[in-house]
């Protein structure tokens, strides 16, 4: 499959391209310094959130800290007060996690996950994947009724996902992405590209 097969065209055969501002923001190395700032600030936020949890037995041993958070989130107050969790299906999911005792292992996953995401974002390794996991965690916090800064952090993570090609340029992705390649490119495309890059 050639690159021309992967483009979107109009009925007249004109290639539909991203606007220049989108290319600048999400695919141009000149904008990478902006993503460096966003990435590091977001990573530091996750590290600051994770560090107290990693030394807290309520997170790393019993899971009672997470159980307390979930228990408050699933509580349904008397009308006219609104419940913390707006969607019944999500409340039922959290309640099933409480009933099964999953908070014991899940609390560790949250603490270690927050730290790992923060570290990957700061060093610029697998930024797209780390940002996706950060966005997923922020989405879950919002769904559980914890607004705080989670909405803003979710937007920052989504922007880093969109800028995955350049967001880690000032970081380890500058070396990791060319070395590992991308998993969605087929083997033939990778072989053709490696042949083109061979010295004459």
Please determine, for residue 57, whether its predicted confidence score (pLDDT) is greater than 80.
yes
Q: What is the SS3 assignment for 9?
A: strand
Token pair in block for residue 7: 């483009």
Query: How many whole angstroms separate alpha carbon 91 and alpha carbon 76?
Result: 10
**What is the DSSP-derived secondary structure letter of residue 7?**
S
pLDDT digits (tens, 9 = 90+) for 110-141: 999 999 999 999 999 999 999 999 999 999 99
Overall domain count for the chain: 1
- For residue 72, the tally of other CB atoms under 10 A from its CB is 12
Q: Range of 159's domain?
A: 25-192
Q: pTM of the full predicted structure? A: 0.81
**36 within some domain:** yes
Q: What SS3 class is residue 15? A: strand
The pLDDT assigned to 111 comes to 97
Span 168-173, average pLDDT:
91
Residue with tokens 């880690």: 168
How far is residue 44's CA from residue 109's CA, in Å, rounded to a whole number?
Answer: 18
Any domain includes 8: no
Give per-residue pLDDT as tens, 65-78: 999 999 999 998 87
Residue 188 domain-assigned (yes or no): yes
Residue 54 within any structural domain of the chain: yes
| Selected residue with higher pLDDT from 26 and 162 | 162
Does some domain include residue 161? Answer: yes
Q: Say how far apart CA 54 and CA 189 lie, in whole Å.
A: 44
SS3 of residue 197 by DSSP: coil
Whether 159 is covered by a domain: the verdict is yes
Q: How far is CA 67 from the centre of its chain?
A: 24
93 falls within a domain: yes
Residue 177, in any domain of the structure: yes
């Amino acid at each position: 499959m050639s690159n021309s097969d992967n483009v979107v065209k109009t009925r007249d055969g004109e290639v539909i391209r991203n606007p220049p501002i989108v290319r600048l923001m999400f695919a141009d190395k000149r904008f990478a310094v902006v993503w460096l700032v966003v990435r590091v600030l977001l990573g530091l936020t996750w590290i600051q959130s994770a560090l107290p949890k990693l030394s807290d037995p309520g997170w790393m041993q019993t899971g009672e800290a997470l159980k307390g958070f979930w228990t408050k989130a699933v509580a349904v107050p008397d009308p006219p007060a609104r419940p913390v969790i707006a969607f019944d299906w999500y409340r039922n999911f959290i309640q099933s996690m409480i009933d099964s005792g999953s908070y014991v292992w899940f609390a560790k996953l949250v603490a270690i996950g927050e730290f790992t995401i923060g570290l990957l974002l700061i060093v610029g390794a697998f930024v797209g994947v780390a940002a996706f996991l950060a966005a997923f965690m922020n989405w879950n916090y919002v769904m559980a009724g914890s607004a705080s800064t989670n909405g803003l952090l979710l937007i920052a993570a989504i922007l880093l996902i969109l800028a995955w090609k350049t967001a880690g340029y000032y970081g380890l992705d500058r070396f990791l992405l060319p070395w590992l390649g991308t998993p969605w490119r087929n083997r033939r495309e990778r072989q053709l590209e490696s042949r083109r890059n061979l010295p004459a």
